[in-house]
Amino acid sequence: MPATSPDPAPAVRSRSSFRSLLRLWPYVRPVRARIALSAVVAVAASCMALLIPLVLKWMVDGPISDHDRGGVWLGGAMVLVLGLLEAGLFGLRRWMVARPLAGVEASMRADLYRHLQRLPVEFHDRWASGQLLSRATMDLQILRMFLAFPLVFLVVNSATVLIGFAILFAQSWLLGLVLLAPAVPLMVLCSYFEAHYAVAARTAQDQAGDLATVVEESVLGIRIIKAFGRHRSQARAYRDQTRGLWGTEMRKARLLSDIWAVIMTLPEIAIGAALVLGVLQVSDDRLSAGTLVAFLSTALALRWPVESIGFLLAMSNESATAADRYFEAMDATEADASGVERDGAADGVRLEGVRFRYPDAPQDSADLLTGVDLHIRPGETMALVGATGCGKTTLTALLPRLHEATGGRITLDGADIADLPVRRVRELVAVAFEEPTLFSASVRENVAMGAGPDGAGEEDIRRALAVAQCDFVDRLPEGADTQVGEQGLSLSGGQRQRLALARAVVGRPQFLVLDDPLSALDVHTEALVEAALREVLQDTTALVVAHRPSTVLLADRVALLSGGRVTAVGTHAELLRDSAEYRHLMSGAQDPADPLRRPDPDARNADDLDGGALNTDTLNDEAASLERSDAR
């Protein structure tokens, strides 16, 4: 299946290349002296090449005409020295910029990585990871190459051409005008080339990002691809992406070959015309042979600065689009508000009229959350239940500000989380998701990620592992120092989920959000984890998404989410007694109106469709038992 690239960036630049590249100045400023000095050195090296024709003129009109063998040897030595100086100066220029520009690239990459960590989840939902990866790697390499070569040589070659034409006009103004004739058509053609090449360059870079997304998804999902035999469809998606990129690169190559052919042809014709005219002037004794040799040698020395215009323009256009792509990510609004935390009495968690809709939801669709009101008392554990797709996971993501509520307010002990810095919110609220994510690091490092700014000691990590019943860690080859591999795929699903739970509790958070964290555990391990988790929940205010009665029983009260609102709040027994929807959810029975419902003819009770679920009679008996227990 071909990967789509949710890249909201424009495909065509809306500003000039110069303005796009000018945004690099804050990064270039610390090394500006090195770059400027390298340009001066490169101009000096080019001047060495322009002095060689003058030496040749002296040799032809002097020692060669006079048959002075010593003068010829002297002239040859001068040409050799000038050539060596030119080579040495160009080598010095490259040495001067290599290290500083590598530092510029590293600084830009670090800033981008730091910025991406601060951006809200909505940003990462909209942008493909391959697009961000290509901006942090390929685009930054293009920018470093631009700063090292095209930026310097656009200045150097311009200075070389000006100095060279000054020498040409000093030798013969008529021949100089002949060589200058192609300048106007070249400028027009370069303008046309730049406009079209910019579009092709941007398209190619975006397609490279899409290709990186396909490769990344194929690597991370290799088990699914193999399990379902989808390697052919993935290969087809990869082939489609590479063909698209190949076609764009061919279009770039055609544009570059066209401009290169014109840039090379017009100066060659001008040099040929100047040669014919110069020979005629020499034959009429209006020009010396040495002057003609020097003129033609200078003109040939200027071929590279002129012919490189197309190459430098192409690299500059690619660099401008790379700069645009880099700053498109950097310009995304950060989620970190600069509010000040307010001190207040313990009030737990309050949600008041909370609304939410995803940014990419259809315009005419209703909000996912339409006005949630809920109060979780200090030290209380609240279970959140509801049908699949009702917004439970989305609601839990609003507390740590992984998503921003589109309406209403959420407070932690009286402080509105919208007024708190995101960093502070994340210190107060710890989370464990149903789908655990582990990193290519050791068990210890993965668990310690959940600790506060002061970090986690060995005792804290061992306590968290014990709470999450992670006794399997001691059986790993290197214990807590074992590397779990990319995405933690070397562990089972239950092991990954328990490590994610340990990460959530290691920092002894003030507020804890658990999104069905025990779904991948067997019943025996689940019972052990729940027993240990009860001790942790006594010291924190918690919201637990629950799908099973065993998880609900961890909570002091239960909130039922339905239709985008909390429609009922109470104890497990109260909701079993008063809410038909809650009884239906806890029974695991299918909706009678569900067209996919297929009753079991052997079932003795219509509510007992799942051998592992509770039937309605059982739930009623349980509710009555709990009520009698509460009365006692």
The tens digit of pLDDT for each residue in 434-444 reads 777 777 778 88
Q: Is the pLDDT of residue 528 over 80?
A: no
Q: Is 409 helix (H, G, I), strand (E, B) or coil?
A: strand
What is the model's pLDDT at position 560? 92
380 near 553, Cβ under 8 Å? no
What's the pTM value of the predicted model, to 2 decimals? 0.56
The tens digit of pLDDT for each residue in 171-195 reads 888 888 888 888 777 777 777 777 7
Which among 203-207, 297-301, 401-405, 408-412 has the top mean pLDDT?
Answer: 408-412
The tens digit of pLDDT for each residue in 346-368 reads 678 999 999 998 877 787 788 88
Pick the CATH number of 19-330 from 1.20.1560.10, 3.40.1000.10, 1.10.3720.10, 2.30.33.40: 1.20.1560.10
580 near 560, Cβ under 8 Å? no
What is the model's pLDDT at position 454? 66
Amino acid letter, residue 568: A
Confidence band, pLDDT 50/70/90 cuts, at residue 227: low
**369-376 and 381-386 beta bridge pairing:** unpaired
Question: DSSP secondary structure string, 341-396?
Answer: PPP-----EEEEEEEE--TTS-TTSPPSEEEEEEEE-TT-EEEEEE-TTSSHHHHH
303 - beta bridge partners? none
Confidence band, pLDDT 50/70/90 cuts, at residue 487: low
Q: Is the pLDDT of residue 403 over 80?
A: yes
What is the model's pLDDT at position 558? 92
Measured CA to CA in angstroms, residue 228 lies from 49, 218, 239 at distances of: 65, 13, 20
Confidence band, pLDDT 50/70/90 cuts, at residue 463: confident
Q: Is the pLDDT of residue 540 over 50?
A: yes
Domain residue extents for the chain:
19-330, 349-570, 571-594+605-632
Question: 596-615 as b/e, with b when 16 or more CB fall inside 10 Å?
Answer: eeeeeeeeeeebbbeeebbb
What is the model's pLDDT at position 8? 54
615 near 587, Cβ under 8 Å? yes
The pLDDT of 331-349, averaged and rounded, is 58
Confidence band, pLDDT 50/70/90 cuts, at residue 161: confident
The tens digit of pLDDT for each residue in 49-74 reads 888 887 877 887 777 777 777 778 88
Q: How confident is the prediction for the chain on average, in pLDDT?
A: 78
Percent over 90 (pLDDT), the chain: 3
Confidence band, pLDDT 50/70/90 cuts, at residue 601: very low
The tens digit of pLDDT for each residue in 68-94 reads 777 788 878 888 888 898 888 888 888
| Fold annotation for 349-570 | Rossmann fold (3.40.50)
Confidence band, pLDDT 50/70/90 cuts, at residue 559: very high
What is the model's pLDDT at position 605? 37
What is the model's pLDDT at position 594? 40
Which among 301-305, 445-449, 485-489 has the top mean pLDDT?
Answer: 445-449
Q: How far apart are CA 609 and CA 368, in angstroms?
A: 30
Considering only CA atoms, which of 521, 532, 553, 556 is closest in space to residue 542? Answer: 556
The tens digit of pLDDT for each residue in 260-278 reads 787 778 878 888 888 888 8
Confidence band, pLDDT 50/70/90 cuts, at residue 589: very low
Tokens 């080339």 locate to: 193
Q: Is the pLDDT of residue 517 over 80?
A: no
Considering only CA atoms, which of 625, 626, 623, 556 is closest in space to residue 586? Answer: 623
Residues listed for the chain = 632
Phi, psi of 498 (to 5 degrees): -70, -40
511 near 349, Cβ under 8 Å? yes
Element housing 579 (H / E):
none
The pLDDT of 508-525, averaged and rounded, is 76
Q: How far apart are CA 507 and CA 510, in angstroms?
A: 9
